[in-house]
A and B are shown apart, each in its own frame.
Chain A
Amino acid sequence: MLFQLALWRIELVEYFRAQLREDPDIASAVAAIRTLLEFLKRDKGETILGLRESLKWATACLTGVDSSVAVSSGGELFLRFITLTSLEHQDLSRCKKMMEERGELFLEKISMSRSKVAKLCHTFIKDGAKILTHSYSRVVLRVLEKAAAEKKRFSVYVTESQPDSAGRQMAEALRKLNVPVTVVLDAAVGYVLEKVDLVIIGAEGVVESGGIINKIGTYQMALCSKTHNKPFYVVAESFKFVRLYPLNQQDVPDKFKYKADTLKTVQNLSEEHPIIDYTPPSLITLLFTDLGVLTPSAVSDELIKLYL
């Protein structure tokens, strides 16, 4: 039995990694959901409860690979979405078929979410705007692509975003779009903010209070823009909404703060540097999601609708 589980785990993780390799542009949560759907199709469980348990186990496996908030929130939402219907049919196989159909529907919906967000957000970028962004976010890239396609002229400042210099990747992608881009040090955010008109960043997770969890350095940027009175916009798809409610930086669970490999290998986490931080809702102006343009207090409304 244990041997079986181990085999399944390896298969699962391989499938997940393959998804990420094939299409580097999709969100990790989407890849996770595709994997879970595949798992559902192959599962040979006998009961609904057993099915739920195995799906939860599969999600746990995937978070073991990629510890980001998005994967765990995506998994939970997937589970919710398919089980919201199920239980009218007596026959398990018919139930499973329903679930698979709903799973496909869910996947299709969320694949469209990035374009919906881009459509909403690009109107907020005016001609001649100077935008500040942080690290590498595919959603922000899509938004800027759309704005460029609408023949808007704007320039972008990107922070380098150590420790993995993801900002340089973003700068490369933007240069390909012929957008004038400057890479700045993480420490230079306060310096550059007076030249900037608006700040747009992505999010790894959106929490119940309306705050966000994102790459380390976001909180600093939000504090500085609040002081400079610059609008701070967040773009995120709705599957990133997660049922967490951190009160402060300390309150964010450790499993999200560090990379998955670090969590497994390192004994004393206090010597490791966290890779994400929490930005409270009071610093955020607006959130652009595929559910619409929301204020931070409206996020809780939407979460209640999704989850309750």
Chain B
Amino acid sequence: MADSGVTDEPVSKEEIERAKSEGKELTKEEKQRLRKEKKHHKKNKEKKDDKASQESEKEKKPVSTDAPVSQPPSQPTTQKAPSPVPTPAPVPVPASEAAVAADKPAKSKAELKAERRARQEAERSSKQGKKGDVGQPAPTSKPKAPPSELQPVVKRLPEHIQADNPDVLRKLAKKLERQQIPLRSDYGYKVSLFSHLHQYSRKAPLTQLLSIPSTVIHPAIVRLGLQYSQGIVAGSNARSVALLHAFKQVIMDYTTPPKEELSRDLVNKLKPYISFLNQCRPLSASMGNAIKYIKKEISYISSQDKEKEAKTKLLNCIESYISDKIIIAAIAIAKYSIEKISEGDVILVYGCSSLVNHILCEAFEKGIKFHVIVVDSRPRLEGREALRRLVKKGISCTYVLISAVSYILPEVSKVFLGAHALLANGYVMSRVGTSQIALVAKAFNVPVLVCCETYKFCERVQTDSFVSNELDDPDDLIVTRKGKTQLEDWQQVKSLGLLNLVYDVTPPDFVDLVITELGMIPCTSVPVVLRVKNVDQ
């Protein structure tokens, strides 16, 4: 990377001069030239996707205006010129752009405008200790700059929590354009605390903007995306299993194009699908781990294998993942949980967790007599589904709304909660309302048990529910009672915002026990399990 910086030197200085005079705009030729040079360097280092990127870049040339040009899809966002540029041009730096550049130094190197590069060098050399960003979710993570002498490795903020950053949005738009996926636009006024998150409307599904037939995205994935965005497939396990089944379909229909290797080409085919699904509904931690696993398995396919064998191998891998991590794990967790359920217990559950429902049904079949209190909350009212399943089995249940939880807690002996993800610092990420129930249970000294499979453990760290969350359709909060719909015109009222949060995080002090298929562990031991799992792999 260092040499590329050196060779670019004379070019950049010229351009800086010219750019100054022209008011910071590069002509198309310069952009093309820079692009070509950059690509040339990248070809020498990168193995994959150079040709594809060139083609897409050439497609884009007539389209691009003075907006920043998107970077070629080769991911390693290496810093090209940080090290050997001796004197950054003393270009006056507008404050806002500087802030933006400081925000994402790893990404900005992709900009081909030379004066922007030079400006960033000035930024970087002055600001050594960048803020460390929150860990990234797996699918969007890209490797960090290895040989950056000026600064240590800087992690990028994931895109889905930067919805109010126009540059990030522009980059995302370019990337989706390249992948031929429509960009979903935000809907309605966002409450200011959560303006960094996307908020979509269910009435505008992404699939309406897709052309028919869509050759880029496999129909199974289109169907899946629609099911996600309309809420037909909901719940952490259900979404992961549906994703894996769709990927199985994709792999079955896949044929390796000539002169390509299956291991690399298939991964690249999956990338636009993942972007599409992300646009339909942000990926969950469990889905992220599943995708990581699939990509790893694909990369292990050697080029010696014939296509049919490779595909069978991959299909078997996916099958065994579903079977081991989800189905058998549920059986193991049920076995451990049943030890904790005693005769005459009154168990409180919240919402509809497939795992908790499974545990209660198993315990009932073993003949333990207990009573269940199902707590539910608007606007999803998922507790009704849980109630239906439990009553069908014959378990005696009570149904309350979350506002009554402090009223019924003195009668409760245990609380069983499901989890969406378990974070590396022991925090439990789950449906909104879970932390409330854990808090009240702690105040009443009722033990709180969280049931979670290990494939939902993620390396992220989060201490509050603001940083990374999901905003659901605000129109869900509108309700019609006795013929009157109160909030119908909420968009007209300028000072009114509707907030429909999906997740919240519960601190480990409120959780007494986490039941996983590896056994019963305290909440603080999640990093140990992650460590053991990594060692296994």
Chain A contacts to B: CB under 8 angstroms: 208-210, 243, 245, 247-248, 250-251, 281, 297, 300-301, 304, 308
Q: How far is the CB of A126 from chain B (nearest CB, A)?
A: 30
Asked if B524 is an interface residue, CB under 8 A from chain A, the answer is yes
Report yes or no: B528 in contact with A248, Cβ–Cβ below 8 A. Answer: no
Report yes or no: B518 in contact with A308, Cβ–Cβ below 8 A. Answer: yes
Chain B contacts to A: CB under 8 angstroms: 340, 342, 414, 447, 449, 512-513, 518-522, 524-525, 528-529, 532
Q: How far is the CB of B453 from chain A (nearest CB, A)?
A: 17
Report yes or no: A247 in contact with B340, Cβ–Cβ below 8 A. Answer: yes
Q: Which residues of A contact B340 (CB under 8 A)?
A: 247, 251
Q: Which residues of B contact A247 (CB under 8 A)?
A: 340, 414, 447, 449, 512-513
Q: Which residues of B contact A297 (CB under 8 A)?
A: 522, 524-525
Which of B447, B449, B520 touches A208 (beta carbons < 8 Å)? Answer: B520
Q: How far is the CA of A308 from the CA of B340 in the complex (A)?
A: 21
Q: How far is the CA of A208 from the CA of B529 in the complex (A)?
A: 14
Q: How far is the CA of A153 from the CA of B36 in the complex (A)?
A: 81
The 10 closest A-B pairs by CB, nearest first: A247-B447, A297-B524, A300-B525, A245-B520, A301-B528, A209-B522, A300-B522, A304-B528, A247-B512, A300-B521
Report yes or no: B447 in contact with A210, Cβ–Cβ below 8 A. Answer: no
Q: With A208-B520, A247-B340, A251-B340 as given contacts, are A304 and B513 in contact (CB-CB < 8 Å)?
A: no
Interface contacts beyond A247-B340, A308-B519: sample of 17 additional A-B pairs, CB < 8 Å, sorted by A: A209-B512, A209-B513, A245-B513, A245-B520, A247-B414, A247-B449, A247-B512, A248-B447, A250-B342, A297-B524, A297-B525, A300-B522, A301-B528, A304-B521, A304-B525, A304-B529, A304-B532
Closest to B340 in A: A247
Q: How far is the CB of B409 from chain A (nearest CB, A)?
A: 15
Report yes or no: A210 in contact with B518, Cβ–Cβ below 8 A. Answer: no
Q: Which residues of A contact B524 (CB under 8 A)?
A: 297, 300
Q: How far is the CA of A297 from the CA of B449 in the complex (A)?
A: 17
23 contacts between A and B (CB under 8 A): A208-B520, A208-B521, A208-B522, A209-B512, A210-B522, A243-B519, A245-B513, A247-B340, A247-B414, A247-B447, A247-B449, A247-B512, A248-B447, A250-B342, A251-B340, A281-B522, A297-B522, A297-B524, A300-B522, A304-B528, A304-B532, A308-B518, A308-B532
Q: Which residues of B contact A308 (CB under 8 A)?
A: 518-519, 532
Q: How far is the CB of A80 from chain B (nearest CB, A)?
A: 14
Closest to A210 in B: B522
Q: Which residues of A contact B414 (CB under 8 A)?
A: 247
Q: Which residues of B contact A208 (CB under 8 A)?
A: 520-522
Q: How far is the CA of A250 from the CA of B512 in the complex (A)?
A: 15
Q: How far is the CB of B346 from chain A (nearest CB, A)?
A: 13
Q: Which residues of B contact A209 (CB under 8 A)?
A: 512-513, 522
Closest to A302 in B: B528
Most B-side CB within 10 Å, residue of A245, A251, A301, A304: A245
Most A-side CB within 10 Å, residue of B342, B513, B528: B528
Most A-side CB within 10 Å, residue of B513, B524, B529, B532: B524
Q: How far is the CB of A305 from chain B (nearest CB, A)?
A: 8
Q: How far is the CA of A208 from the CA of B525 in the complex (A)?
A: 10
Which of B447, B513, B525 touches A301 (beta carbons < 8 Å)? Answer: B525
Q: How far is the CB of B217 from chain A (nearest CB, A)?
A: 42
Q: How far is the CB of A304 from chain B (nearest CB, A)?
A: 5
Q: Which residues of B contact A251 (CB under 8 A)?
A: 340
Q: How far is the CA of A281 from the CA of B525 in the complex (A)?
A: 14
Q: How far is the CA of A280 from the CA of B414 in the complex (A)?
A: 17
Q: How far is the CA of A247 from the CA of B412 in the complex (A)?
A: 14
Q: How far is the CA of A308 from the CA of B520 in the complex (A)?
A: 12
Closest to B447 in A: A247
Q: Which residues of B contact A248 (CB under 8 A)?
A: 447
Report yes or no: B512 in contact with A300, Cβ–Cβ below 8 A. Answer: no
Closest to A244 in B: B520
Q: How far is the CA of A245 from the CA of B525 in the complex (A)?
A: 14
Q: How far is the CA of A251 from the CA of B529 in the complex (A)?
A: 25
Closest to A245 in B: B520
Q: How far is the CA of A247 from the CA of B522 in the complex (A)?
A: 11
Q: How far is the CB of A148 from chain B (nearest CB, A)?
A: 36
Q: Which residues of B contact A245 (CB under 8 A)?
A: 513, 520
Q: How far is the CA of A294 from the CA of B524 in the complex (A)?
A: 14
Q: How far is the CA of A300 from the CA of B519 in the complex (A)?
A: 11
Report yes or no: B447 in contact with A300, Cβ–Cβ below 8 A. Answer: no
Q: How far is the CB of B516 from chain A (nearest CB, A)?
A: 11
Closest to A209 in B: B522
Q: Which residues of A contact B449 (CB under 8 A)?
A: 247
Closest to B448 in A: A247
Closest to A208 in B: B520
Q: How far is the CB of B470 from chain A (nearest CB, A)?
A: 30
Q: How far is the CB of A13 from chain B (nearest CB, A)?
A: 29
Q: How far is the CA of A209 from the CA of B519 in the complex (A)?
A: 12
Q: How far is the CA of A308 from the CA of B518 in the complex (A)?
A: 9
Q: How far is the CB of A61 from chain B (nearest CB, A)?
A: 24
Q: How far is the CB of A219 from chain B (nearest CB, A)?
A: 13
Q: How far is the CA of A209 from the CA of B528 in the complex (A)?
A: 14
Q: How far is the CB of A73 from chain B (nearest CB, A)?
A: 16
Q: Which residues of A contact B521 (CB under 8 A)?
A: 208, 300, 304
Q: How far is the CA of A248 from the CA of B345 in the complex (A)?
A: 14
Q: How far is the CA of A243 from the CA of B521 in the complex (A)?
A: 10
Q: Which residues of B contact A304 (CB under 8 A)?
A: 521, 525, 528-529, 532
Report yes or no: B528 in contact with A300, Cβ–Cβ below 8 A. Answer: yes
Q: How far is the CA of A303 from the CA of B309 in the complex (A)?
A: 42
Q: How far is the CB of B58 from chain A (nearest CB, A)?
A: 55
Q: Which residues of A contact B513 (CB under 8 A)?
A: 209, 245, 247
Q: How far is the CA of A297 from the CA of B522 in the complex (A)?
A: 8
Q: How far is the CA of A89 from the CA of B532 in the complex (A)?
A: 27
Q: How far is the CB of B225 from chain A (nearest CB, A)?
A: 39
Closest to A307 in B: B519
Most A-side CB within 10 Å, residue of B447, B520, B525: B525
Q: How far is the CA of A156 from the CA of B55 in the complex (A)?
A: 83
